[in-house]
């Protein structure tokens, strides 16, 4: 369970030091250097771990998305991972400009670049749209309730994966891919297991089980799996009897 929700984001191990070095070596007359003083200080002390209250996670992810977008094609042409390309072949000016762009985008969308990750990265389930077809067709609405999610896309190396982005009419990011089901199973004389499902087991909004696992899912609070009849004894709402 600890491994499944390890918050470390290894993707930033090489690109982030290159960004810090670019700022350190920029002349004091450089306008971007002056503009990014606080942002660099925030990233310099970051432990590279996601958390709902983490401002550097927001800044790093927005910067990572922007710099990847500008370097991915060149990295593929060079035949090397994009994070290696960013760390070794991207110019200091490009690295700093990308951070400025990410900072400006955060400010434009959320009022400040100092926005905690959990205010951006959200889980929301409003309707049962898409249940019949098996396709995700959820509407998202910033004005409706949603739940903060600490973990990020697997793109940044998070095993607890939550692929989120903004949708038409939203500023917040809503997840539609990643770990929709997580289970940890221990085999022995008896099977012991814990699990969680994104949202809930039911696709019907009126069901009490439509969204009852959402908070568990977003925090990694896995529930016990009732595997044996004795496990079910005090946890059964009703039983199915064939023919009735």
- Contact present, 7 and 162 (Cβ < 8 Å): no
> Tens-digit pLDDT profile for the chain (244 aa)?
898 899 999 999 999 999 999 999 999 999 999 999 999 999 999 999 999 999 999 999 999 999 999 999 999 999 999 999 999 999 999 999 999 999 999 999 999 999 999 999 999 988 776 554 555 567 899 999 999 999 999 999 999 999 999 999 999 999 988 888 889 999 999 999 999 988 888 888 888 888 888 899 999 999 999 999 999 988 888 888 999 7
Tokens of 10: 């290894």
pTM of the model: 0.90
């Amino acid at each position: 369970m600890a491994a499944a929700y390890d918050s470390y984001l290894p993707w930033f191990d090489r690109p982030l030091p290159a960004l810090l070095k670019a700022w350190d070596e920029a002349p004091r007359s450089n306008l971007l250097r002056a503009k990014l003083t606080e942002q660099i200080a925030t990233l310099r002390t970051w432990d590279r771990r996601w958390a709902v209250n983490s401002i550097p996670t927001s800044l790093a992810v927005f910067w990572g998305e922007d710099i990847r977008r500008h370097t991915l094609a060149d990295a593929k042409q060079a035949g090397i991972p994009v994070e290696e390309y960013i760390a070794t072949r991207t110019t200091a000016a490009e690295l700093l400009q990308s951070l400025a762009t990410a900072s400006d985008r955060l400010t434009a969308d959320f009022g400040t670049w100092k926005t905690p990750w959990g205010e951006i990265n959200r889980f929301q389930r409003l309707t049962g749209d898409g249940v019949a077809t098996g396709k995700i067709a959820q509407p998202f609405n910033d004005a409706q309730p949603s739940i903060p999610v600490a973990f990020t896309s697997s793109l940044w190396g998070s095993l607890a994966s939550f692929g989120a982005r903004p949708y038409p009419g939203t500023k917040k990011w809503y997840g539609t891919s990643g770990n929709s089901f997580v289970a940890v199973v221990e085999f022995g004389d008896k099977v012991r297991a814990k699990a969680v499902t994104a949202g809930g087991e039911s696709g019907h909004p009126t069901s009490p089980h439509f969204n009852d696992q959402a908070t568990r899912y977003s925090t990694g609070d896995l529930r016990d799996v009732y595997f044996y009849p004795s496990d079910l004894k005090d946890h059964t709402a009703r039983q199915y009897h064939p023919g009735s």
